[in-house]
């Protein structure tokens, strides 16, 4: 399975723009992974509507290499790029969300606020939504077997 790398909104656009400027000015800079260079190149040719949708699919080892490169540059502050998760992966919410929550087979679905930084395990898919088994959020544990359906644009694979 391929990993999809997506720009995380305006934070991701600023990161890629800054990265393109640094690599143009500093010839001694660490070379960019080719896939990341392709994202930056597409950034220059995309119109405003396409900017938020810039993404790339790569093999998992290459995605790990890009994630390490981005983590090193960003110093662990923020998440400029989102990395899609596979079933069984731990994921982190990158923004606050209001998510549909299902606690049991016979219980009605409800909506719940989940804070950025909450952690879950991807256990399934429903269309373009990931089904997460919620584990913890901001130091508190979620009730056992609580699931939430959350868009991939709000999560990233935990590294």
| All structural domains of the chain | 3-83 (no CATH), 90-157 (2.30.30)
In this prediction, residue 119 has a pLDDT band, given cuts at 50, 70 and 90, of very high
Structure tokens at 65: 């290499």
**Which ranges constitute the DSSP H helices of the chain?**
9-25, 34-45, 48-51, 60-74
User: CA 23, 24, 28, 33 torsion: positive or negative?
Assistant: positive
According to DSSP, the residues that pair with 128 across neighbouring strands are none
pLDDT in tens, 72-86: 877 766 788 889 898
3-state helix, strand, coil in the chain (%, to 5): 30, 35, 35
3-state secondary structure of 31: coil
In this prediction, residue 6 has a pLDDT band, given cuts at 50, 70 and 90, of confident
Does 113 or 12 have the greater pLDDT score?
113
Check pLDDT > 60 for residue 26: no
Q: Which residue pairs, CB below 8 angstroms and at least 24 apart, start in 39-44?
A: 39/5, 39/7, 40/16, 43/13, 43/16, 43/17, 44/20
Q: Are 93 and 158 in contact (CB under 8 A)?
A: no
Q: Which residue has the tokens 């490169």?
A: 69
What is the Cα–Cα distance from 7 to 94, expressed in whole angstroms?
12
What pLDDT is recorded for position 73? 78
pLDDT in tens, 136-148: 876 677 776 788 9
Q: Are 58 and 69 in contact (CB under 8 A)?
A: no
Q: Does the model's pTM come out above 0.85?
A: no
Report CA Rg, the chain: 17
Phi, psi of 59, deg, nearest 5: -70, 150
């Amino acid at each position: 399975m391929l990993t999809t790398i997506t720009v995380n909104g305006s934070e991701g656009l600023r990161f890629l723009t800054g990265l393109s400027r640094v690599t143009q000015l500093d010839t001694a800079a660490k070379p960019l992974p080719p896939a990341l260079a392709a994202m930056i190149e597409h950034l220059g040719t995309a119109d405003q509507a396409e900017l938020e949708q810039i993404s790339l699919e790569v093999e998992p080892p290459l995605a790990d290499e890009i994630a390490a490169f981005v983590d090193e540059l960003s110093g662990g502050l923020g998440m400029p790029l989102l990395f899609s998760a596979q079933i069984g992966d731990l994921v982190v919410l990158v923004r606050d969300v209001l998510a549909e929550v299902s606690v049991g087979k016979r219980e009605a679905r409800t909506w719940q606020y989940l804070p950025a930084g909450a952690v879950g395990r991807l256990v399934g898919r429903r269309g373009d939504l990931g089904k997460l088994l919620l584990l913890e959020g901001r130091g508190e544990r979620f009730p056992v077997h609580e699931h939430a359906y959350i868009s991939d644009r709000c999560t990233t694979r935990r590294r």
